Amino acid sequence: MKWAASALLCLSLAAAEKWTVDDILLQEQVGAIELSRDGRFAVYAKSRIDKEKGESVSHLWLRRLDESDAIQLTRGQDSASSPRISPSGKLIAFLTSRRAPGAPSASSGAPAAEPPKTQIWLMNASGGEPWQLTRFERGVRAFEWISDDAIVAAAQEDPSLYHQKIKEAKDTSTVVDDEEHEPPVRLFRVEIKGGKATRLTANTDRITSIDVSPDGQWALTVHNRSLAEIYNQKIKPVTFLHHLPTGRSVELFAGQKLYPRSFHWHSDSKSFYFTAPYTTHPDLYNASVTKLYHFPMSLAEPFQAAAKARPAEVALDWDNGLAASPAPLPGGFLALLAGGARNRLARYYEAGNAWRREWIDQPDVHQLVSSLDGSRIVFLRSNASSPAVYIAARLSGNRFEDAKPFIEPNENLRKKAIAKTELVRWKGALDEEIEGILYYPHNYEAGKKYPLVVMIHGGPHGHDADAFRESWAYPHQLYAQRGAFILKPNYHGSSNYGLKFGESISGGKYNDLEWVDVEKGVDYLIARGLADPDKLGVLGWSNGSIISIELSVRTTRYKAVGAGAGDVNWTSDWGNAVFGDSFEQYYLGKTPMDDPDFYIKKSPLFQMDKVTSPTIIFFGTEDRQVPTEQGWQHYRALQHYGKTPVRFILFPGEPHSLRKYVHQKRKVEEELAWFDRHLFKTANPANPALKPVSPLAALARLKQAADVPETVERGSVSVGRFEVTRAQFRAFDPSYPVPPGAENYPATNVSFEKAQQYCRWLSSRTGRKYRLATEDEMAGLLTRSRNENTLDFWAGYAVNPDDAARLEPLVKEAGAGALLKPAGSFPGTGDDPLFDLGGNAAEWVLGKDGKPKVLGGSADRPADEKAPVTTLPDYIGFRVVLDR
């Protein structure tokens, strides 16, 4: 039975589609799900890389929960985000920086104004064109509905004289942390009819978030009061409660060490929950657990009493705290409780001043959204081997009922080979248990050892969840496809494992434990007989890169290192990183002025003479989280000692996380090539001057080709790279005429039956199953292209059907197949190219009705997709398909 299961797995993987870099980069991402108050429909944002624009574009979609089809609401290359449904459900408001109709643009010829700012736009939930609501000079930061008649928006104040003068002078200088002149962000009421904006607050700080009560009476705001708050966390944000009808405001939680991160109103507006981080450090919040608090509005009676009110901490009875924001319900809430790589789902019921918990038996949940009335729940279900799907359900007690797929992004990925995964645990530093996710090679066979690539998450106070997360930073499937195990360790300092674990690397212990955890995890897999100790690699981004670099100075056993945006010098990081002081004081316990020798001891830069692992380094030139000079120092030190190959790639204009498609693709391809060369030892030296899709590359491939046609994987089959050539067909039928010099021309004037006989002969000769393609398999591949060998090429223009009829006598007079060219004479299509899909010879396929059919362009006919295929026999050939 074990053998049968193994055989079935091998067959299923063989039939699955192979992964490409674009499969990773062009995934759809779903977010900002907003349910209507009655739970009848949802609006959400779906983002994806727009290859023409070169970066991700987000659009809004609407889906009614009792209907099967989703409706795309916005289009084009301008992103739309933050959808909010009006109380009645009739309107949808959202943020976008698109230009209003009639506004001048760079391409219009008229003098263009500054790039448009982010504004609030409206559209009918029933569809139609959106229209612009706000026109704030500096754009909108956040907003919420007050009622069907008005919205409250947070927007930067209009420019002062100081800023007007700077703009007039075209002065682009920057004053760092210029609190005196930083514009405040205030609240404004915006009328839906006419868009009139009225200022509601006169604060001098900056509002960063708004949460309005369902009845529109109250608003909660968080205010930033220091431009250096991220850097040193000395001046913390503050929270205000606003009574919108009267304009009164009061600060909440003063002196209570409560810094809310999210608010969640009850449907009756009589109370709200909020989440806040908790830490044992007196000032810094780099590592924490998330607690939940409850604030009854009775604490604001009288209003000013709210200033001294102390909210109740919700007794979750769970040391690790929350894993995500709760979903409020009438009489309680749903909560995801932090449980390492796998969270636990529970329902809490309010019982006076206490809460009662009931567990919900629903695995693989990573996100929760509820309608205001609690009638509908949407949750994200996924694990590391299963792409995400959003499920809509009704909640009955502690059970989900009527659960159905609601949003299924990236359905195409389910057709691909996806690595088996398992949760693994081992004893790490301090002899404490460490958890990680292990991805198996796609071609795994029990009893064999495979290369191991360790992929280390950033943070450090982050974690790898048991969820499907393929990205340009961590493309697991591309490495599993190469026959490698991938280990994702949740090392000491990771989140979701409780406060003690998160704080374990603080106060000077940073990078004392983490690299040990990784090393012991690798040893564990070697001891299990899974990982080949001579074929180890490691990579990571940000803190994952930092640990990878640390490993490179601690051991020589890693054959390849990928270091993306990682630190090597903590002294320069303290001054240059956007959060330098808070990070270093938390994790190193002091500043470089306090103890410069300790900073040198902690910095891998001063141990680069030990590195022998080939290292590839990546950085964005505008990275302020891990400043770019860290990459320069890393590169120059390895270059100086010259003990190992090193390659340094900079991405112009990119911040800490790469945004541009071309840069993401370059990163993945460069890193794969580095690991192919130094770890997998599979890299073939390529001619840097030869373009793979070029006719010259095709000629080189044809010269290397034997009698057996070369195939390329496309979907569940392998398709001939070229049409079967005359030389290849003559090996089957020695009587087939092949004039000297025409060996690499496509074999044409071959009947469908003869082409099938060739496939059967080739199958018996090779022991592999070759056949002709079906219409379904080739319908998306075979085209008629004006850029290939069609009649348009020979005529020198786009030939219409009338001119084709006039040219037909000339084509016949030229001789049988006279317009054909050698296979691959025109550029191919795809990263691993197929040639002549759009011209030269049309091709036999098996039609949907089971009868022979001809598809594709040919040299004797124009590239007119509207015309039927009427190719002459001398221009009909075929290509083979190999079943995998």
Which residue's structure tokens are 């949407």?
Answer: 378
**CA nearest 574: which of 596, 550, 541, 553?**
596
For residue 136, with 0-12 CB atoms within 10 Å meaning exposed, 13-18 middle and 19 or more buried, which class applies? buried
**Residue 103: band (very low, low, confident or very high) from pLDDT cuts 50, 70, 90:** low
Q: Each residue of 604-625: pLDDT tens digit?
A: 999 999 999 999 999 999 999 9
Taking the C-alpha atoms of residue 807 and residue 640, their distance in angstroms, rounded to an integer, is: 68
What's the chain's length in residues? 884
DSSP character string of 262-314: EEEE-TTSSEEEEEEEE-SSSS--SS-EEEEEEEEGGGGSSGGGGGG--PEEP
Q: Each residue of 46-82: pLDDT tens digit?
A: 999 999 999 999 999 999 998 989 999 999 999 999 9
List Cα–Cα distances, 389 to 82, 335, 362, 476, 685, in angstroms. Answer: 21, 19, 14, 19, 41
Query: Could you tell me the pTM of the whole model?
Result: 0.88
Mean pLDDT of the chain: 94
In the numeric block, which tokens belong to residue 274?
């909020």
Tell me, what's the pLDDT at 717? 79
Taking the C-alpha atoms of residue 844 and residue 750, their distance in angstroms, rounded to an integer, is: 9
Beginning with the edge strand found earlier in the chain, give each strand of the sheet holding 558-564 in spatial order: 421-427, 433-439, 485-490, 450-456, 531-541, 558-564, 615-620, 646-651
- Give the 3-state secondary structure of residue 613: coil
Tell me, what's the pLDDT at 11? 39
- Angle separating helix axes 514-527 and 543-554, nearest 10 degrees: 70
Taking the C-alpha atoms of residue 525 and residue 208, their distance in angstroms, rounded to an integer, is: 46
Tell me, what's the pLDDT at 105? 59
Taking the C-alpha atoms of residue 30 and residue 435, their distance in angstroms, rounded to an integer, is: 28
Cβ neighbour number for residue 787 with a 10 Å cutoff: 13
Residues 6+ apart with CB under 8 A from 402: 393, 394
Exposure pattern of 323-354 as b/e (b: 16+ CB <10 Å)? bbbbbbbeebbbbbbbbbbbbbbbbbebeeee
Q: Which helix (H) or strand (E) holds 846?
A: strand 842-846
- Give the 3-state secondary structure of residue 377: strand
Residues 6+ apart with CB under 8 A from 383: 363, 364, 421, 466, 467, 468
List Cα–Cα distances, 20 to 442, 568, 830, 842, 861, in angstroms. Answer: 14, 32, 10, 28, 34
Taking the C-alpha atoms of residue 848 and residue 274, their distance in angstroms, rounded to an integer, is: 59
DSSP character string of 497-531: S-HHHHHTT-TT-TTTSHHHHHHHHHHHHHHTT-E
Kindly tell me if the per-residue pLDDT of 14 is higher than 70. Answer: no
Kindly tell me if the per-residue pLDDT of 5 is higher than 50. Answer: no
3-state secondary structure 58-112: EEEEEEECCCCCEEECCCCCCCEEEEEECCCCCEEEEEECCCCCCCCCCCCCCCC
Alpha-carbon dihedral sign for residues 373, 246, 204, 120: positive
List Cα–Cα distances, 485 to 403, 451, 452, 690, in angstroms. Answer: 34, 6, 5, 33
Kindly tell me if the per-residue pLDDT of 227 is higher than 70. Answer: yes
Pair 144, 219: CB distance under 8 Å: yes
Number of C-alpha atoms within 13 angstroms, CB side, residue 807? 21
Tell me, what's the pLDDT at 865? 85
Kindly tell me if the per-residue pLDDT of 7 is higher than 50. Answer: no
Q: CA geometry: angle at 504 spanning 500 and 507, to 5°?
A: 125
Alpha-carbon dihedral sign for residues 711, 717, 723, 725: positive
In the numeric block, which tokens belong to residue 325?
């924001």
Question: CB under 8 Å, gap of 24 or more: what pairs does 844-847 form?
Answer: 844/750, 844/752, 844/755, 844/772, 844/876, 844/877, 844/878, 845/772, 845/773, 845/774, 845/775, 845/777, 845/778, 845/782, 846/772, 846/773, 846/774, 846/775, 847/774, 847/775
Tell me, what's the pLDDT at 18? 85
Kindly tell me if the per-residue pLDDT of 316 is higher than 80. Answer: yes
**Residue 324: band (very low, low, confident or very high) from pLDDT cuts 50, 70, 90:** very high
| Region label for 585, one of left (φ > 0), alpha (ψ between -120 and 50) or beta (otherwise) | alpha
Q: Each residue of 237-259: pLDDT tens digit?
A: 999 999 999 999 999 999 999 99
| Region label for 195, one of left (φ > 0), alpha (ψ between -120 and 50) or beta (otherwise) | left
Taking the C-alpha atoms of residue 164 and residue 745, their distance in angstroms, rounded to an integer, is: 70
- Give the 3-state secondary structure of residue 543: helix
Q: Each residue of 370-392: pLDDT tens digit?
A: 999 999 999 999 999 999 999 99
Exposure pattern of 635-668 as b/e (b: 16+ CB <10 Å)? bebbeeeeebebebbbbeebebbbebbebbbbbb
Instruction: Express as a percent the part of the chain with pLDDT over 90.
Output: 89
DSSP label of 116: P
Pair 798, 852: CB distance under 8 Å: no
Pair 725, 747: CB distance under 8 Å: yes
DSSP label of 51: T
Question: Lowest-confidence range among 79-83, 384-388, 428-432, 707-711?
Answer: 707-711
Tell me, what's the pLDDT at 4? 40
DSSP character string of 739-756: -TT-TTSB--S--HHHHH
- Give the 3-state secondary structure of residue 824: coil
Tell me, what's the pLDDT at 16? 60
**CA nearest 559: which of 525, 530, 522?**
522
Taking the C-alpha atoms of residue 439 and residue 488, their distance in angstroms, rounded to an integer, is: 8
Pair 543, 459: CB distance under 8 Å: yes
Q: Residue ranges of the alpha helices (H) in 642-694?
A: 661-675
629: phi then psi, degrees, rounded to nearest 5: -60, -20
Kindly tell me if the per-residue pLDDT of 430 is higher than 60. Answer: yes
In the numeric block, which tokens belong to residue 151?
């919205």
Exposure pattern of 677-687 as b/e (b: 16+ CB <10 Å)? bbbbeeeeeee
In the numeric block, which tokens belong to residue 333?
């809430």
- Give the 3-state secondary structure of residue 384: coil
Q: Each residue of 759-790: pLDDT tens digit?
A: 999 999 999 999 999 999 998 899 999 999 99
Kindly tell me if the per-residue pLDDT of 166 is higher than 70. Answer: yes
Question: Lowest-confidence range among 212-221, 586-595, 664-673, 703-712?
Answer: 703-712
Pair 566, 548: CB distance under 8 Å: yes
List Cα–Cα distances, 410 to 75, 323, 470, in angstroms. Answer: 19, 25, 11
| 531: β partners | 450
Tell me, what's the pLDDT at 434? 98
Number of C-alpha atoms within 13 angstroms, CB side, residue 14? 9
Tell me, what's the pLDDT at 678? 98
Pair 29, 47: CB distance under 8 Å: yes
Kindly tell me if the per-residue pLDDT of 428 is higher than 90. Answer: yes
Taking the C-alpha atoms of residue 587 and residue 598, their distance in angstroms, rounded to an integer, is: 12
